[in-house]
Every structure is written in C-alpha cells, then in structure tokens.
Amino acid sequence: MEALGHTRERNEEPSADGAPEASNGAVAPDIERPVLSVENLSLWYGAARALKGISLRMAEKRITAFIGPSGCGKSTLLRCINRMNDLVDGVRIEGRILFEGQSVYDAKLDVNALRTRIGMVFQKSNPFPKSIYENVAFGKGAVSRGSSASATSTRSSRRACGARRCGTR
C-alpha cells in the first residue's frame, strides 16, 4: 500500500547512489506535530498479511486522500485508524497509531468517542444487520438521540430512499 507518508520496508535497499532516500514533501511531508501518525503498521487476517510496515503522518485541518487500486489496503488502513477491525475475528495488528498523541488502541480510550472524531465514508453502503429504518435512525440518533428533529429527519430520509414501512418504530 502506498499512501501519503512513506511505506519503506525494513530491509529496503538505499537509493542507487547509496545515500538515504531524499525527503519528498509530497510523499513524506515534514509535519512537526501530526494530528495522526501511523508507525510501522502491519495487519493480518489470520495468516494472510493485508498491510505491511505502513508509516505516515497527517497534519491537522488538511485534506488527505488515499488513492490506489482496488484491494491495495486503503479501507483496511482506515478501519485500523477508527478501530473498526476490533469487530473482525482473526485480525492481528502490529505497530502504532496515534491520534492527537494518544494510541487509538489505549485500553482507557473510549472507542465510541474516537469514532465520532475519526469518521469513515464507505464506497458502498455497509448497513448494520437491522431494518432500513433502524439503520437510518441509528445514524440520526447518534447526533441527537430522541429529539423530534431527529425523528423528522429520519422520516424524511426514509421517504427519500422510497422506504414506506421499514421497521416497527
């Protein structure tokens, strides 16, 4: 996987002239205090390695894009950052991910609070195993639980997707 940052492998050869690789601001930006840093991250699904030695640093209030071919690990990396891989059996992760200086895998970290700060947009819809109504209501409820504005917004979302009877509530 190649991403903003660098993905240098451990025993990688130096450049042709023997000098260390020159810093490229587009590939390995010099970020003094990154809001997010990933250090030597590797991930396995069982015995299959999906990510190998990923390292990157992201500046606060900057747009960052992960661009690459299908299956190269973009979504897998994002799932590590907001801990969605916690929900997948057989996943093993090595390396560090720091958000605002704190490990996202710190046992004291509130994962739900982390996920409100680090969102993820899926290429395809990825609903929870619930009714359409419950999926729409869950997202709306995360913003304002039980409010009449949330209920109104949920009803309009249901109408927009053509759902007439999408649940029992």
| Judgement on whether residues 117 and 49 belong to the same structural domain of the protein | yes
User: Token pair of 77, please?
Assistant: 């990396």
| Judgement on whether residues 64 and 133 belong to the same structural domain of the protein | no
pTM, to two decimals: 0.59
Q: Which of 31-35, 106-110, 138-142, 153-157 has the lowest mean pLDDT?
A: 153-157
| Judgement on whether residues 20 and 88 belong to the same structural domain of the protein | yes
| Judgement on whether residues 42 and 98 belong to the same structural domain of the protein | yes
H-helix or E-strand spanning residue 113: helix 111-117
| Judgement on whether residues 104 and 163 belong to the same structural domain of the protein | no
Number of domains in the chain: 2
Which residue range forms the structural domain that includes residue 34? 1-123
| Judgement on whether residues 106 and 132 belong to the same structural domain of the protein | no
Find the length of the chain: 169
| Judgement on whether residues 14 and 67 belong to the same structural domain of the protein | yes
pLDDT value, residue 110 = 92
Mean residue pLDDT across the chain: 74
Provide the pLDDT confidence category of residue 24 given band limits of 50, 70 and 90: low
